[in-house]
Chain A
C-alpha cells in the first residue's frame, strides 16, 4: 500500500557524525563529490570508498543501508560498465570474434563504477545522519548571502519545510481517496496506457482540490500566528560550529591531500 512509503532517510542516532553541524556535512559532502570527479586512479577511489564506509561505521549505520541507495541506479552502473568495457579502444586484452576488450576499457569501467558507488554512498550518509529540517536550515544559512541579490532564501526554506511537513499528510490522503474511488468501482492503474492515465483523474482532481484548501487554511493559520516573512524573525534552532566541526574539516582536508598525493605520485 502507498502508505508504507517512509519519508526521508534519516536514521536517528547520536554518533559524532549525527551531531556535526548540518552545514559542515553539507559542505563536506559537496566538496567530496567534486573531489571524486577529479580523482581518476583506482587506488584513490578505493580509499575514498573505504573512508565513506568507515563513516558508516562511526555513525553506527549498517553497511546494508549503504547499498540500499545503490539499487535503483544499479542498471545505470551495469550499462556504463558494458559501454566502457566493449567500446573503449586501446591495447586489446581479449579478442573473441568481433568483440574486443581493451585494457583501457576495463580500467575506465572500474573507475566509473567505483566513482558512482562512492558518490551515492557518500550522499546517503549525509541524509541518513541529518534530518531534512536540519538540511533545510543549513541551506538557508549557507545561501544567506544570496539575499543581497534578491534571492528569496527564507521563503524557499519555508517552502521546503512546509513540503516536508505535508508530504506524509498527502500520502495518507491519496490512500483514502484511492480507497473511496475503488469502493465505487474504479479500477486504478489497469488497462492500456490511456485507460490507465484516465483512471488517475478521480484521484488527482480531489487531491488537487484538497491541497488548495489546505494551502488556504495554512496561510490563514500562519497569519493568525503573526507570520510576516523572514524579516525580524528569530529561530529556536541556532546552528553553531563546534570543535567537532573543526576536527571534521581538518580530517577532510588531510584525506583529500592524501588522495591527491596517491593519485599523482604513485
Chain B
C-alpha cells in the first residue's frame, strides 16, 4: 500500500494570541493509504473540521507537517494540491453562484485552466454519474430541489477529478432516500475510480455501512483509530466521549452477554440477520 496522506505532530489553534485562543488540534499523527475509505467521527468541536481543512492547505499547521502525495501543504503549488484533494463542505449547495448548473460545475475547471473540449467531456461524464440531466444543467441552480442542488454542488468538486475526496456531513438535511442515492454514488467512485474517501459523519449507521476504517477525534486529538468492527466493539469508550454505536451493535452486544457464542462484532443489519439465523438453526438442531 502506498501512503497518500501523512500528518505528523500537527497542532493548530484559533485566535492565536487573544484571550479567545482555542486549541483545535493537538499533536495529531495520522497516515492514510491510497484507496482507503476512512470515516472521521467525533462530536462537534472535537477538531474534525479543522483536521480536514488542513488536507488541502486551507489551514496551515502551527506546528508539524502535512504531506499529501509527497507534497508539503506549507510549500508552493496550493492550487495543484486543491485539485488533488476535493473537499465537499457541509451544505455545499451554499457555494453555488453561477447562472446555470453547467457553468457552476465548470467554475473549478476554468480556474485550473482546463481546455474547452476537456471541460465539456468531464462535465458530461460527471453529470451522468450524479444523475444531472441536460435539462438540469441548463437551469439556474436556485431552481433545483434540495437533493439536486446538493448533487450539482458535489459535481463542481468531482469534476476536478480529485484523488482524495473529503466529505463533511454530505447528507445533512437530505431525507433517507436522497441519502442512499448519494452514498451509492460515492461508493461507486471509490470502488471503480479508486478514489481515497474521507468521510466526516455523525451517523454511525452510515459509517458502519460504508467505511472500512474509523478515526475517532476528541478534544483535538485522535482518540481511536482502527477498523470499523474494532472501533464499534469499544462502546464504553465511545460513550465516554458522547458518541454512540449503531443500534445493531448494541443489540448484538446484549445478545452476546446472553449467549457468548454470538458474535458481538456486528453492526449492519444483513450480518446481524445471518448471525441470528445461524444461531436459530443451531438451536433447532
Is there a direct interface between A and B, measured as CB atoms under 8 Å apart in the complex?
yes
Residues of A within 8 A of B (CB): 3-4, 173, 176-177, 179-187, 201-202, 205-206, 209-210
Q: In chain B, residues 92-126, which have Cβ atoms closer than 8 Å to a Cβ of chain A? A: 92, 94-97, 107-108, 111-112
Q: Which of B1-9, B79-87, B209-217, B251-259 forms part of the interface with chain A?
A: B79-87
Q: How far is the CA of A6 from the CA of B161 in the complex (A)?
A: 39
Cross-chain contact B108 with A184 (CB below 8 angstroms): yes
Nearest residue (CB) in A for B16 is A4
Chain B residues lying within 8 Å of A205, measured Cβ to Cβ, are 97
Q: In chain B, residues 137-156, which have Cβ atoms closer than 8 Å to a Cβ of chain A? A: 142, 156
Instruction: Answer whether A183 and B157 are a contact pair too, CB < 8 Å, given A176-B89, A202-B107.
Output: yes
Cross-chain contact B112 with A210 (CB below 8 angstroms): no
Chain B residues lying within 8 Å of A185, measured Cβ to Cβ, are 79, 82-83, 108, 111-112, 160
Cross-chain contact B160 with A4 (CB below 8 angstroms): no
Other-chain contact of B56, A3, A177, A183 (Cβ < 8 Å): A183
Other-chain contact of A210, B79, B94, B107 (Cβ < 8 Å): B94
Cross-chain contact A184 with B15 (CB below 8 angstroms): no
Residues of B within 8 A of A (CB): 14-15, 18, 53, 56, 58, 79, 82-83, 86-87, 89, 92, 94-97, 107-108, 111-112, 142, 156-157, 160
Q: Please give the distance in Å from B112's CB to the nearest CB on chain A.
A: 5
Cross-chain contact A182 with B96 (CB below 8 angstroms): no
Q: How far is the CA of A4 from the CA of B19 in the complex (A)?
A: 12
Chain A residues lying within 8 Å of B79, measured Cβ to Cβ, are 185, 187
Cross-chain contact A184 with B94 (CB below 8 angstroms): no
Cross-chain contact B94 with A177 (CB below 8 angstroms): yes
Q: How far is the CA of A182 from the CA of B108 in the complex (A)?
A: 9
Q: How far is the CA of A176 from the CA of B14 in the complex (A)?
A: 15
Cross-chain contact B142 with A209 (CB below 8 angstroms): yes
Q: How far is the CA of A238 from the CA of B246 in the complex (A)?
A: 52
Q: How far is the CA of A176 from the CA of B94 in the complex (A)?
A: 9
Q: How far is the CA of A116 from the CA of B108 in the complex (A)?
A: 49
Nearest residue (CB) in A for B166 is A183
Q: How far is the CA of A148 from the CA of B142 in the complex (A)?
A: 43
Q: Please give the distance in Å from A171's CB to the nearest CB on chain B.
A: 14
Q: How far is the CA of A35 from the CA of B14 in the complex (A)?
A: 44
Cross-chain contact A206 with B97 (CB below 8 angstroms): yes
Q: How far is the CA of A209 from the CA of B97 in the complex (A)?
A: 9
Instruction: Answer whether A179 and B94 are a contact pair too, CB < 8 Å, given A184-B111, A209-B142.
Output: no
Cross-chain contact B53 with A179 (CB below 8 angstroms): yes
Q: How far is the CA of A186 from the CA of B15 in the complex (A)?
A: 25
Q: How far is the CA of A183 from the CA of B94 in the complex (A)?
A: 14
Nearest residue (CB) in B for A184 is B108
Q: Please give the distance in Å from B85's CB to the nearest CB on chain A.
A: 8
Q: How far is the CA of A251 from the CA of B86 in the complex (A)?
A: 64
Q: How far is the CA of A82 from the CA of B160 in the complex (A)?
A: 56
Instruction: Answer whether A179 and B58 are a contact pair too, CB < 8 Å, given A185-B82, A206-B95.
Output: yes
Q: How far is the CA of A3 from the CA of B83 in the complex (A)?
A: 25
Chain A residues lying within 8 Å of B92, measured Cβ to Cβ, are 180
Chain B residues lying within 8 Å of A181, measured Cβ to Cβ, are 95
Q: Please give the distance in Å from A60's CB to the nearest CB on chain B.
A: 16
Q: Please give the distance in Å from A210's CB to the nearest CB on chain B.
A: 6
Cross-chain contact A206 with B94 (CB below 8 angstroms): yes
10 tightest Cβ-Cβ pairs between the two chains A and B: A185-B111, A205-B97, A184-B108, A180-B95, A183-B87, A185-B108, A180-B89, A202-B97, A206-B97, A185-B112
Q: How far is the CA of A205 from the CA of B15 in the complex (A)?
A: 28
Chain A residues lying within 8 Å of B56, measured Cβ to Cβ, are 183
Q: How far is the CA of A138 from the CA of B97 in the complex (A)?
A: 40
Q: How far is the CA of A186 from the CA of B89 in the complex (A)?
A: 15
Chain B residues lying within 8 Å of A176, measured Cβ to Cβ, are 89, 94
Q: Please give the distance in Å from A77's CB to the nearest CB on chain B.
A: 28
Chain B residues lying within 8 Å of A173, measured Cβ to Cβ, are 94
Q: How far is the CA of A161 from the CA of B97 in the complex (A)?
A: 29
Q: How far is the CA of A180 from the CA of B168 in the complex (A)?
A: 12
Cross-chain contact A184 with B53 (CB below 8 angstroms): no
Q: How far is the CA of A176 from the CA of B169 in the complex (A)?
A: 15
Cross-chain contact B58 with A182 (CB below 8 angstroms): yes
Chain A residues lying within 8 Å of B82, measured Cβ to Cβ, are 182-185
Nearest residue (CB) in A for B53 is A179
Cross-chain contact B97 with A186 (CB below 8 angstroms): no
Q: How far is the CA of A181 from the CA of B56 in the complex (A)?
A: 12
Cross-chain contact A183 with B111 (CB below 8 angstroms): no
